[in-house]
Structure 1
Amino acid sequence: MFQDISIEQLIEQRQNKEITLIDVRSPSEFEDSSIPGSLNIPFFDDAERAEIGTLYKQVSAQAAKERGLEIMSAKLPSFVKSFAAIPGRKVVFCWRGGMRSRTTATVLSLMDVHVYRLEGGYRAYRKWVLDSLEQMDFTPDIYVLHGNTGTGKTDILKTLKDRGYPVLDLEGLAGHRGSIFGEIGLRSHNQKTFDALLLEELIHYKDAPFVLIEAESKRIGKVIVPEFLMNKKQQGVHFMIEVPMKLRVQNILNDYRPWKHAEASMHAFQQIKSRLHTPIAAEIESSLKAGVYDRAVELLLEYYYDPRYSHTSNAYGDELRKEPLIHASELDQAVSILENAILEKQPELRNTIAIH
């Protein structure tokens, strides 16, 4: 017979053992949110789930169970085979640890495929995430990277992360770049997915001496950053990056590739068009239509993003002025200057393998 595993046991064991989590909910439920790293082997697909739900509401629970059994019987061999092909320890879950995961675990045990069932299912996991974020005492110092749009802050942080520095990529966790154009070419995450990914990162870095982040606003696309992290950011050590306009334009072109997303770029521009002086808006629009993207980007930076950033950065008061500005003409130079600035503040890390 299968065994149940609590959410606390799962979290503890995932840190020390290879465990494969398998979500047996429908594809649309899985797509909406799941436990990070899970596989999806659906007990019912979306159409089957809808059919059974209709029977349950309009006919009876018994009719729904009988139809569910009929559907499952037809695909049982391939269902079992999918689980058997996965090596190691396996934990199955559904929405609340009910019929779908219980039936899955029971059938698999009869076929000598051992799995654990997560008590309370995804609902218990979601509650654990919310409770953990609510009670989070995140002790590492926060180093905050500032700079106008297009400065390359995200690329700088990615480079530092590749070198072993602790980096919390909030935009990456949100699946959004944080601007009106921020979703172009990306798939933005909902709050449930963001919270789960963020919590994993916070746990991973809980013993780090510091964590590097970008100076994000409280809302990034569809998600809200927790208040405790915004407070930590406000109280952090701040670094301001400045690079030439030409490099900023090129960074944005490399990142967004507007020629591949011309319609989405124009749609995003229409949302801010009224906030710009009419002649400037007209030139941006004509540049986008003509595919002269470098000119459109330069105008957007000069007349829309830079004034907005200047206003936002004033919220930090003298904090930004306490740190020397990091002037650079290219990405590698910015990374090198910032790295030296960090190591001046953390000299004990200069020779440690974990950091550099």
Structure 2
Amino acid sequence: MFQDISIEKLNDLRSKNEMTVIDVRSPSEYAESTIPGSVNIPFFTDEERAEIGILYKKVSTQAAKERGLEIMSAKLPAFVKRFAEIKGNKTVFCWRGGMRSRTTATVLSLMGIHVNRLDGGYRSYRKWVVETLEQVEFAPQVFVLHGNTGTGKTEILKALKEKGYPVVDLERLAGHRGSIFGEIGLKSNNQKTFDALLLEDILRYRQEPYILIEAESKRIGKVILPEFLINKKEKGTHILLEAPTSLRVSNILNDYQPEEHAEQSLQAFNQIKSRIHTPIAQEIEESLLTRQFGRAVELLLVYYYDPRYAHTSVNYGDEFARTTPIRFETMEDAVEQVERRIEELIYRDGASNKVQTSV
């Protein structure tokens, strides 16, 4: 017979890579939000779930159960086979640990396949995420990368993470780059997905002496940062980046690939067009229409993003104003200089014995 498993036990096993988590909810439920890293083996398709829901509401609970049994019986062999193909320990969950996960675990048990069932289902997991983010005590110091649009902050963080630095890439977790053009070429995450992914990073790095993040506003695309992280960012140690406009243009073209998303780029520009001096806005629009994307990006930087950045930077106070910027001509040089700055900051703060734990 199957066993119920708590959120705490499941998280412990997941952290040790000793558990495969399987979401038996419908594909649309899974796409909307799930436990990070879980596999979707749906008990019902979206259409089947909708049909049974109508029977439950308009006919009776018994009619819904009978139709559910009829649907499931026809596809049971293929359903069980998919579970049999997954080796090792397995935990299944549905919305609230009800019929779908209970039936799945019972049938698999009868077929000699042992699985655990998450107590309370996804609803209990979501509750745990929200409560933990509200109560978490996060000790690491925060080093915050600042810089005008296009200075390659995200690229630098990615390179540093590959080197073993404790990086929380907020834009990656949000599936959004943070600007009006930020969703182009990406699939933005909702708040539930962002919170789950963020919490995994927060718990992973909570014993580190510091983490690295990018300076972001409170909202990134569809999601809002938790208050504790905003406070940590504001009290963090600032690392300011400066790069020539030509490199920034090149970085943006490489990242956004506007030639593949010309229509989306134009639509995004139309949302900010009225905020830019009319002759400049007209030239930007013409550049986008004639696929002169480099020129359009350069004008957006000079006449829209740079002035906005200068305006918001004053909110960081005198310490930020006195920060010595890191100036670079190539992204390789940027990564090397940021690494050196991090080492200087760690030694300055008397944490030199902790450097090797983070890199």
Match of 1:154 in 2: 154
Match of 1:73 in 2: 73
Cα distance in 1 between the residues matched to 2:293 and 2:232: 37
How far residue 322 of structure 1 moved from its aligned partner, in angstroms, is: 3.1
Q: Is 1:8 matched up with 2:8?
A: yes
146-155 or 11-20, larger mean C-alpha shift: 11-20
Partners of 2:343 and 2:355 within 8 A in 1: no
Partners of 1:284 and 1:299 within 8 A in 2: yes
Match of 1:243 in 2: 243
How far residue 351 of structure 1 moved from its aligned partner, in angstroms, is: 9.3
Cα distance in 2 between the residues matched to 1:114 and 1:137: 37
The code of the aligned residue for 2:169 comes to D
Write the mapping of 1:229-308 to structure 2, written as runs, cut at 5 A: 229-308=229-308
Match of 1:323 in 2: 323
How far residue 330 of structure 1 moved from its aligned partner, in angstroms, is: 1.1
Structure 1 alignment gaps of length 5 or more: none
How far residue 42 of structure 1 moved from its aligned partner, in angstroms, is: 0.3
Write the mapping of 1:1-356 to structure 2, written as runs, cut at 5 A: 1-347=1-347, 349=352, 353-356=356-359
Q: Secondary structure at the match of 1:346?
A: helix
How far residue 130 of structure 1 moved from its aligned partner, in angstroms, is: 0.4
The C-alpha deviation readout for 1:202-225, integer Å capped at 9, x for no partner, is 000001110011000000000000
How far residue 349 of structure 1 moved from its aligned partner, in angstroms, is: 4.8
Partners of 2:208 and 2:358 within 8 A in 1: no
Cα distance in 2 between the residues matched to 1:13 and 1:165: 24
Q: Residue 48 and residue 230 in structure 1: after superposition, are their counterparts in 2 closer, same or farther (change >3 A)?
A: same
Cα distance in 2 between the residues matched to 1:64 and 1:163: 54
RMSD, aligned α-carbons: 1.2
Q: Secondary structure at the match of 2:207?
A: coil
Partners of 1:27 and 1:42 within 8 A in 2: yes
Partners of 2:209 and 2:354 within 8 A in 1: no
Q: Secondary structure at the match of 2:143?
A: strand
Cα distance in 1 between the residues matched to 2:352 and 2:75: 56
Partners of 2:146 and 2:153 within 8 A in 1: yes
How far residue 233 of structure 1 moved from its aligned partner, in angstroms, is: 0.4
How far residue 332 of structure 1 moved from its aligned partner, in angstroms, is: 1.3
Cα distance in 1 between the residues matched to 2:53 and 2:291: 50
The C-alpha deviation readout for 1:264-290, integer Å capped at 9, x for no partner, is 000000000011111001000000000
119-128 or 53-62, larger mean C-alpha shift: 53-62
The code of the aligned residue for 2:135 comes to Q
Q: Secondary structure at the match of 1:114?
A: coil
How far residue 146 of structure 1 moved from its aligned partner, in angstroms, is: 0.4
Structure 2 alignment gaps of length 5 or more: none
Partners of 1:164 and 1:354 within 8 A in 2: no
Partners of 1:284 and 1:300 within 8 A in 2: yes
331-340 or 47-56, larger mean C-alpha shift: 331-340
Cα distance in 1 between the residues matched to 2:131 and 2:354: 37
How far residue 350 of structure 1 moved from its aligned partner, in angstroms, is: 8.3
State TM-score, norm by structure 1: 0.98
The C-alpha deviation readout for 1:145-199, integer Å capped at 9, x for no partner, is 1000001111111111111111110000000000000000000000000000000
329-338 or 98-107, larger mean C-alpha shift: 329-338
Q: Residue 210 and residue 10 in structure 1: after superposition, are their counterparts in 2 closer, same or farther (change >3 A)?
A: same
In the comparison of the two structures, how many residue pairs are matched?
A: 356
Cα distance in 1 between the residues matched to 2:357 and 2:84: 38
The C-alpha deviation readout for 1:202-257, integer Å capped at 9, x for no partner, is 00000111001100000000000001100000000001100000000000000001
The code of the aligned residue for 2:123 comes to R
Q: Secondary structure at the match of 1:91?
A: strand
Partners of 2:208 and 2:357 within 8 A in 1: no
Q: Residue 350 and residue 291 in structure 1: after superposition, are their counterparts in 2 closer, same or farther (change >3 A)?
A: farther
Cα distance in 2 between the residues matched to 1:109 and 1:65: 20
Partners of 2:218 and 2:224 within 8 A in 1: yes
Q: Residue 211 and residue 67 in structure 1: after superposition, are their counterparts in 2 closer, same or farther (change >3 A)?
A: same
The code of the aligned residue for 2:2 comes to F
Cα distance in 1 between the residues matched to 2:113 and 2:84: 6
Partners of 1:149 and 1:301 within 8 A in 2: yes
How far residue 314 of structure 1 moved from its aligned partner, in angstroms, is: 1.0
154-163 or 140-149, larger mean C-alpha shift: 154-163
State TM-score, norm by structure 2: 0.97
The C-alpha deviation readout for 1:315-344, integer Å capped at 9, x for no partner, is 101121232111111111111111111101
Q: Residue 355 and residue 6 in structure 1: after superposition, are their counterparts in 2 closer, same or farther (change >3 A)?
A: closer
Partners of 2:346 and 2:355 within 8 A in 1: no
Cα distance in 1 between the residues matched to 2:323 and 2:313: 14
